[in-house]
């Protein structure tokens, strides 16, 4: 079980040690453990940048991040799954290219949680 109170900079670094400096700097800036802010501020812009690249499927860091998303979806408590849905996945719904590529990277349980979003946000249109 991944409980919400476990979601701190150490947890994030355990999945993506490549971003250790950025993670600790953001955590210091926040001044306290705010998982929605920490995860969103670190991951959201990075994931979108990586999904824009043609070789997104082969990006080892992006693969790790989506593996972490799947673990949050499978093993997370209710608050952890809320962070995944509201902070991380909703962010990927603004643009068709990003949305479709993100869905291609998702594991089954992450996709299931992602589908809940369609109840209150319209899927982006292909332009």
CA dihedral 21, 23, 28, 29 (to 10 degrees): 110
**Domain count for the chain:** 1
Q: Within a domain: residue 42?
A: yes
Q: Can you read off the two tokens belonging to residue 55? A: 């070789």
Asked if residue 54 belongs to a domain, the reply is: yes
Q: State how far the alpha carbon of 120 is from the alpha carbons of 4, 66, 79, 112, in Å.
A: 24, 23, 19, 15
- Please report whether residue 124 resides in a domain: no
Considering the domain boundaries, does residue 127 fall inside one? no
In a domain, 125, yes or no: no
Does position 99 have pLDDT exceeding 80, yes or no? yes
Given a cut of 90, whether residue 107 has pLDDT beyond it is: yes
| pLDDT tens digits, 28-86 | 999 999 999 999 999 999 999 999 999 999 999 999 999 999 999 999 999 999 999 99
- Report residue 126's pLDDT band, with 50, 70 and 90 as the boundaries: confident
Find out whether 47 and 95 touch, Cβ atoms under 8 Å: no
pTM: 0.95
In a domain, 126, yes or no: no
pLDDT at 46: 97
Domain that holds residue 76: 4-119
Query: Above pLDDT 90, what percent of the chain?
Result: 97
């Amino acid at each position: 079980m991944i409980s919400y109170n476990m979601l701190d900079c150490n947890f994030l670094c355990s999945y993506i040690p490549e971003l250790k400096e950025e993670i600790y700097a953001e955590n210091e800036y926040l001044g306290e453990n705010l998982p929605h802010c920490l995860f969103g501020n670190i991951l959201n812009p990075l994931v979108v940048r990586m999904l824009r690249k043609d070789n997104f499927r082969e990006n080892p860091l992006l693969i790790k991040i989506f593996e972490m998303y799947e673990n949050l979806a499978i093993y997370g408590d209710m608050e952890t799954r809320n962070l995944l849905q509201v902070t991380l996945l909703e962010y990927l719904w603004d643009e068709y290219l990003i949305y479709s590529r993100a869905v291609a990277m998702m594991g089954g349980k992450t996709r299931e949680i992602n589908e809940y979003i369609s109840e209150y946000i319209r899927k982006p249109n292909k332009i």
